[in-house]
Chains A and B, each alone.
Chain A
């Protein structure tokens, strides 16, 4: 990996090169802010615009119009003066803006006056029986394989869950020539009624046309099962079948080679939590979101959060928030005054409002059912440490514990994923068991490294005399 060397300090560091990160970096660089962007992937785009420049998919119609909006964004980003560091994992950010990054197998510490976290979203956990079997993946995983490797599932592919991405992936798959054995929809029946109040906003947004077209396309070509209330993956060493039950009482077992699960996305907040940014529970979106002002400023002075990491609102909103975070950073760094910031922000504030308008309807329409957010029996809650739902319930029945005491008792959340696939499940199961809100329960306490680094890499970091003295005593 070539490119200019990393400096010891920057004015602005952006973590993540998805729409929010790219927009923030491009905007900041435009204003003359010395900016560096770190991203884990090999090329910009994040997940939503994955493999934008190099997708091996030759037919643009497969991925749909919205995808190609990213092309302009990537182009502007690559032309900008921001220093882009791909295949870099940021494993720590301190409150004072010290950043630990691992790139090319070596770790570096550097400083930034301000940090914009644009770490995006990840799939909500979907803890059903057998969800750890090889062959069970997320819809997002299938989309990544489609975009970046031009691959579709072979054999019998079942798609299950709820949410706009479910329909998008189904449509993309079918357009690409992939086959879908069944789409098992878990959207709760009552959702539409609850969502209707927000219909006007949705109708006025761009989502409607897109959404209906997709739905129509998919319905015509796939076997759609609605009102699924139970779901289980079966198999020994790998997935062989999927069993579902509908609200109408129908129970069916399908042979399956691949099961793609999706019930929405949630903020990827590990870095923000480890830094100490305050988060609160959002009862509509059923996840923790950071507490932010209108510019994305978090409760930690040096840190702003842009994009889905600040609350799920989609790619277009993410772009707008990226601009806003960069404008505010520029103002705080003294490059522009507040009046200039506000003036430059106006168009993005408008775009953000537009983009957010349709979300309220979608959030409620596709709000996942509790039965699929809580797990039961032998279903694994913590995939890394293989802790079952039963073990979690037993501990919760023993005493009124929180997620950190639970972690201590059962190792739940102690694996390398650091709770990304179990944190929300645990918080909701404990809230349910104790009869309190998830806000009262809280979340795992996280510490660096938020992604693993080696012992050798850790040992290579700078140490003060005091640090050494604290360890080499006697």
Chain B
């Protein structure tokens, strides 16, 4: 019998590409329905105020307008955006009403919705809605928030939504007699995922059958369905969430936003299909913001550089409301500040502060990008103080394989613990140094060549993935002997259709071209799905497929045994046939005159930890502050590589997003809580000419012990260390100026200002 080659581990070209390169993808704005209405949302241009009146009478008379909906139409109390991750009763009061009723708390908050025959007519009508708002003082940053002079929620006496701590060992004791300590303040700026496809939804209500179809859902279809069901008083079975193609998520799309209630509500209210797509300006105002944090942290070390402890205070600006996952980034900053390093004593508290800005949520590596910047900056400062090589300092403190599973700080009050699963962090550091050519490049450190100052940096990181608790998959053996795969995971561009086909093909020992399709885009396919977030899909969805495959093979063997008159244990499945004893066999197609459908699941309570190292070589034009990236090497070890092509794509793509965050992206609010970055001319993301050299290297070793694939989630590692590495490289380049970057982004004007502040009296050439 022929052994089918393994598909897992191969750089299989993606199945999805066949439609995408032809322009045959179907994104939500591509959909149309007969009799469709368009929704447009009136958004506050005041950052904080009491709503005195909303007059929709003129808007209702605009030709083409079907109706205008305000909070009063949504029921009392106004439904709220629920929390998905870490829902705690103390957060509920900070939940966002679907539409503002009495008070508005950020620019962009929904005030009214117009349904009209065309998108343009709907927007024309928005211009005719008269809103009277009595402005309140703007709480425009976390320091103002902390003063509690103006409260966002008058029935709470504080703008601190929540506070928690990361604790390990005894930090007080560790610091008391530490031979060396250093205390610093750092900050990261507000920025966002900025998907190229803006959000959208198309909802249809079939009154006769009591069925709601929501197209354009993404990422967490099952959770969102349960919310809509509860809020609209429908059963979950009567709601179908359909994904279609999704133009990027990076953790931000797919969360439950106010529109995820409003558009289904509108479809039922109007009895007609309703379509909504946001424009770019709305997107910048309303899609989850992220990353804005400041910290005051202190490290304690022995004289030889061994870290004794980390302690400090972190302040996270979470915007005006606590939305579905607003606490995740904050928690991660505290819990993972130690990263892949051994820090035996930790005491870091995090305050979540409410401000009059768009609410925050997860963005790729939430909290991890911020905390790696804080930590790695501190490390380079410490290494220099102690006269220790920056690489050796890191080596000394990396958690070793022998210490795994290694327990990190515990978060109170969640009491959530976590442990690093497997890995040898030294090998990715070594690989990075070699590929980067550190020894050769090191000659340039701090030197001025042709007017530019050169610098290097390296850092180590971990990436948590595979969030549980569960995922489901269903495999169907079709009457023609092909296999159809259904998963609860969501496709957001990461190539799941291909990776899951590879996994299914190997699990069933069949050629990949006999997998006729992988469906991930509807709640109708599996009974209990969860979706794609926290880099979980390969591990969770893939392992669910393995479980389903095992069960399908059992079912096939049982059926074959019946037909071939032998024991099920004697059946061998190979070459598209089921072989019994004495040479008899039956084809898979013959086994399934009716399709055989089997569901599998995977339960998980532990995270996987992919890990690696990044190194950067920059040069800085001291007269303009421009940072040029000459080389960037990102090494990531993810336990088991399913598709090296797509994995490397994730890695490089994430690095470039990180470079945007380190150097140029910034959502800027003024002192009146007005969002100044309202377009892509002001919110700057990397383009093709900005970072021509980014090298991604993927490794597999030390499989994860916690799932049958041995894989580790690896979609976010590319972004996590970038802020720290770039800032350290800039510090290295400008060491002769005494420049120590403490804040991101390192835009040209900020770098220039750092140089002016640190300038020694000497000529710059």
Q: Does A associate with B in a complex?
A: no
Question: Which residues of B does A touch, CB under 8 Å?
Answer: none
